[in-house]
Amino acid sequence: MLEETKKFLSGPLGSFINNQWLTDEEGERFEVTDPCTAEPIAKVRRASAVELDSAVEAADKAFPAWSALPANERAIYLHRIADALEKNFDTIAEIETLDVGKTIENTKGFDIPFGVECIRYFADLSMSLPTDTPLAIKAMEARIHRVPYGVCGFIFPWNFPYNLLLWGIVPALAAGNTVVVKPAELTPLSTLFFAKLAEEAGLPAGVLNVVTGSGREVGEAMCNHKKIKRMSFTGSSFVGKKIGEACGRNLIPCKLELGGKGAAVVFEDADLDLAAEQLSAAITFNTGQVCCTATRWIVQESVVETFTDKVTSLLKSVKLGHGLKAETGMGPLASEKQRQTVVDYLAKGEAEGATAVLKGECVTPEGCEQGYFMTPSLLKGDTENICFKEEIFGPSAYLTTFTDEADAMEQVHSIDYGLANSVFTADLERANRVADNMACGNNWINAHNVFAYGLPYGGVNLSGLGGGVNSPETYYDYLRPQTVARPL
């Protein structure tokens, strides 16, 4: 571990409100553990609803001055934070790896640079997109004028704490809103380190606030706070429905980025080596704890045996180990609770008649005897199986076969998730036809997990509502439209 990482983790750590750290030793604290070893790596002060209220008040007080700044001046602050992240690249990569259990290759190769790019993208976008749109209406001078909402509340999950934080709050800040963040108790560390860097970069007090409490207390208080003007939640569909209900009762606009059960349709003319490579990587990336990953593999009957041989060979070759080791190909599940969830699902799937093509097993890599590791698994069966229908959130996929395009599409649409699907075929006309007709927020051709700034990303049905991320549409999500009209 780097000395800077050790220094940060040694604390004290707690909520960040109005550019003040609430880290006193008297309050209740919770431990954050390394899922590779199950050993504690930090202690964080557990916040209450009282602290949440203080954070909202601070954000509300800071809003008028922050929103009044020209977009280019807000962008300066954001670019300074991006500079600080780049300067501390290795440290935040280690913190994210230790907190989540993912590999250092993933954090350094994807998470951290993609997050920095997010900041620069929205900072620059805010200076180029208009906030006024003229309307062509007879005998009238009229326009849509867009203004920031005010205080925006964010609740984030534990699987991608750093990237999801930036995907959420950066467009809101760039648009002139102030924010209050509740990170997951399981993985709050990179969020707190980001707040530290934002403070050092000179971000004005109250613009960014982080409250390190439980969802039951702090999350509920956030959803019901009258000064929260826009809510965003990323997480499970089950919890998302409850947050949507709470926001609905208070008429707070709510953005929900929820779970998925992605389908990958593999036609007989597909490049099977490519399909196997993409789909094996999809369920091992972040140990399968990715809402948009492809976990339903719908393969044409004539090539299922060949595809299965190729993909199982790749999955068997994945090297498990501590995330900080360069040779590690897949880390642990984020917690013992999540590992047990995966174990239970696989048992239920087999009990309902699925065949274990590749059996998932709990293992203990050298030096990680207490970690939450599990090998990749692949089940094969019918579409009525629980493992075909429900999100497992682990390194596991479910294989079915199809006869023709209509059969494949029926399987794709047999469940209500709609976050990210893919189609593999050499026939681009068919690829586009299938992609156009899959009811899903994101449909990819001959690839899976494709992300780029400017490429909208969001879900439908059980996978979410209220807009997506990574695009100009995201920026406008955090600006409230109002009309201005003058009769001529």
Catalytic residue among 94, 217, 257, 391: 257
Say how many C-beta atoms besides its own lie within 10 A of residue 319's C-beta.
Answer: 11
- Asked if 9 and 189 touch (Cβ cutoff 8 Å), the reply is yes
Q: Report cis status (omega within 30 of 0) of the bond before 171.
A: no
The DSSP bridge partners found for residue 40 are 33
Residue 34, token pair as written in the block? 């390394």
- Token match 């698994």: residue? 377
d(CA 255, CA 2): 37
Overall size of the chain counted in residues: 488
Report the sign of the C-alpha dihedral through residues 294, 297, 300, 305, in that order. Answer: positive
Output the DSSP codes for 31-99.
Answer: EEEETTTTEEEEEEEPP-HHHHHHHHHHHHHHHHHHHHS-HHHHHHHHHHHHHHHHHTHHHHHHHHHHH
- With residues binned 3-state (H G I as helix, E B as strand, rest as coil), the percentages for the chain, rounded to 5, are 40, 25, 35
- Asked if 444 and 420 touch (Cβ cutoff 8 Å), the reply is yes
- Asked if 368 and 339 touch (Cβ cutoff 8 Å), the reply is no
Q: Which helix (H) or strand (E) holds 132?
A: strand 132-137
Of the candidates 285, 231, 295, 224, the residue with the CA atom closest to the CA atom of residue 259? 295
Could you tell me the maximum CA-CA distance found in the chain, to the nearest angstrom?
78
Catalytic residue among 118, 223, 247, 291: 291
384 included as an active-site residue: no
- Asked if 48 and 222 touch (Cβ cutoff 8 Å), the reply is no
369 included as an active-site residue: no
Residue 15, token pair as written in the block? 């909520």
The residues assigned a catalytic role are 257, 291
